Amino acid sequence: MSLRARLATAVPAVADEQFLVIRSGGGNFALPSEIVRGILPFEDAPGTETVPFQGQDLPLRNLAGRFGWSSRPPVSETKVLMCGAQETLRAFVVDEVCGLTDVPATAIRSLPPHFAGPERGWFSGLFLFRDAVALVVQPSWLLGHVTSAPALVHSEPPPSEPAAASIVSTRETSAVPSRETPAVPRRETPVAPIQETPAAHVTSFGGDSPEIVELEEASDAEDTPWADL
């Protein structure tokens, strides 16, 4: 799906927030567009452990693994996502890039208070996306120090739908959720202003050598080089 084919909203939004929605480990995750620095087809990555970007060799990590979910084998839709804020850069393998979407701020909901564990620090909220939901990832957490995900209740790939007679299986963990209904802010503000990147250039995927599309800030994502991906 071309990123240019953005998801339309029925009503013109007064204050929309722009996200790049991706799929990883069976779930939809929304990343604030301002932290997305580049997208590369997985098959074009020069290695399976690192990817060169802006003079650095960024360790590759599956985004699902960041949440403690199992990763899936790469397929044709698998992409490498370069994300960053200020001088912090991270590279994540995702199953699929669904596209850019503008979401009214009023459409972003808080995670239900029944979720009382570390996930409250991972996600700032969620919104309806197609027939499911997209979880808004906290940029500060995503770009933070990459450590092993805490023990999760669900550490196996979720079953593929439909599964009429089964729901997500769980097991007890040592997680210590707090049930004191913390005051969850509806959304966090984006991270501090991002260091400007060199001028973007449009590249085509494939060919003999991998080429990374570097992203630049633009008032309208349709004008960005990587909107044609």
Partner 1 sequence: MLKTPPGRTSKAAKAWPLVVFSVGGRSLAVKAEEVLSVLPWTDAIPVPSGTAYVTAVLRHGEDVLPVFDLAAKLHVQVKGSKPLCVIAKRKDGPMALCIDSDIPALQTVEASTVKPAAGGSDITGFCMVGAEEVPIYSLATLGLSVSQSRS
Question: Could you list the residues that contact partner 1 (CB under 8 A)?
Answer: 26-27, 67-69, 109, 112-119, 122, 126, 128, 131-133, 135, 150-154, 158, 161-179, 181
In the complex, minimum distance from the CB of residue 218 to partner 1, in angstroms, rounded to a whole number: 31
CB atoms within 10 A of CB 46: 12
Phi and psi, residue 31, nearest 5°:
-110, 130
In the complex, minimum distance from the CB of residue 150 to partner 1, in angstroms, rounded to a whole number: 6
Instruction: Report the greatest alpha carbon distance in the chain.
Output: 56
**N-to-C CA span, the chain:** 8
Q: With respect to partner 1, which residue has the nearer C-beta, 180 or 196?
A: 180
Residues facing 51 on adjacent strands: 58
Residues, the chain: 229
Q: Are 37 and 26 in contact (CB under 8 A)?
A: no
In the complex, minimum distance from the CB of residue 171 to partner 1, in angstroms, rounded to a whole number: 7
179: which 2 tokens? 């049930």
In the complex, minimum distance from the CB of residue 228 to partner 1, in angstroms, rounded to a whole number: 30
In the complex, minimum distance from the CB of residue 3 to partner 1, in angstroms, rounded to a whole number: 23
Q: With respect to partner 1, which residue has the nearer C-beta, 172 or 196?
A: 172
Q: With respect to partner 1, which residue has the nearer C-beta, 99 or 125?
A: 125
Q: With respect to partner 1, which residue has the nearer C-beta, 171 or 201?
A: 171
C-alpha span between 90 and 79 (Å, rounded) = 14
C-alpha span between 43 and 208 (Å, rounded) = 11
